A and B are shown apart, each in its own frame.
Chain A
Amino acid sequence: NAGVTQTPKFQVLKTGQSMTLQCAQDMNHEYMSWYRQDPGMGLRLIHYSVGAGITDQGEVPNGYNVSRSTTEDFPLRLLSAAPSQTSVYFCASSPEGTGLNEQFFGPGTRLTVL
């Protein structure tokens, strides 16, 4: 099992550009989520999904879109990148029954918006 994989590992964007951060898991987990980590802020939930076709907003959803067409994949789209979106982004998954509690995290994507 590869677990939770994220691509790319690093990305630099210009203000206004759009891009998609990819996330995939091979553990057949129902729950998937996206977090951002900023210095002094811990991890904050952006969007989450409780199953294919079902998504919902977290604490900081503005400027981001998600979709969940399959159990395995949960991409995060930045519609028009802003410097405030410079952060490290983590995708996570967890099996049904544990909610979003005991999650398995990917290695992260470090995004810089100039």
Chain B
Amino acid sequence: DQQVKQNSPSLSVQEGRISILNCDYTNSMFDYFLWYKKYPAEGPTFLISISSIKDKNEDGRFTVFLNKSAKHLSLHIVPSQPGDSAVYFCAASSYGSSNTGKLIFGQGTTLQVKP
């Protein structure tokens, strides 16, 4: 049972436009959500996170939106740059109930930003 789902395996956008990556989850106990970015032959790197007490968190060109009622979060990248081309993983944890906050990852979405 996939608790965190990224239903779009790939996304292609033009440089300068907005990239929107989506993620759905099923476990209502999740209270912390993160996005990781991964380039080929490298490990994932932490990008941005959001607590369930918020509905938006912004860091430069990256904004994460959380809709708890729909159990949905999205990552917006504006403006998109060719260097953003990578695999993006959504992840969730029930950090509030456990000090370890074990992450459950989605399948990943490959973003291609065309020059």
Binding site for B on A (CB under 8 A): 4, 31, 35, 40-45, 48, 50, 56, 58-59, 90, 92, 98-108
Known contacts A4-B43, A42-B89, A50-B99: A101-B107 contact under CB 8 Å: no
For B22, list chain A residues within 8 Å (CB). Answer: none
Known: A44-B105, A101-B95. 12 other contacts (CB 8 A): A43-B89, A45-B103, A48-B102, A50-B100, A56-B100, A99-B101, A100-B103, A101-B34, A101-B49, A101-B93, A103-B103, A105-B44
Binding site for A on B (CB under 8 A): 4, 6, 32, 34, 41-46, 49, 89, 91, 93, 95, 98-108
Q: How far is the CA of A107 from the CA of B102 in the complex (A)?
A: 20
For A99, list chain B residues within 8 Å (CB). Answer: 93, 95, 98-102
Q: How far is the CA of A42 from the CA of B6 in the complex (A)?
A: 10
For B104, list chain A residues within 8 Å (CB). Answer: 59
For B4, list chain A residues within 8 Å (CB). Answer: 42
Within 8 Å by CB of B105, from A43, A48, A107, lies: A43
Interface centre among A42, A45, A58 (most CB of B within 10 A): A42
Which A-chain residue is minimally distant from B101 (CB atoms)?
Answer: A99
Q: Give me 9 A-to-B residue pairs in the complex whose CB atoms sit less than 8 angstroms apart, sorted by A's number.
A: A42-B105, A44-B105, A45-B102, A48-B102, A99-B102, A100-B93, A101-B49, A105-B45, A107-B41
For A44, list chain B residues within 8 Å (CB). Answer: 105
Which A-chain residue is minimally distant from B89 (CB atoms)?
Answer: A42
Within 8 Å by CB of B43, from A58, A101, A106, lies: A106
Q: In the bound complex, do residue A102 and residue B49 qualify as a contact, i.e. CB atoms below 8 Å apart?
A: yes
Q: In the bound complex, do residue A40 and residue B107 qualify as a contact, i.e. CB atoms below 8 Å apart?
A: yes
Which A-chain residue is minimally distant from B6 (CB atoms)?
Answer: A42
Q: State the Cβ distance, A77 to closest chain B Cβ, in Å.
A: 20
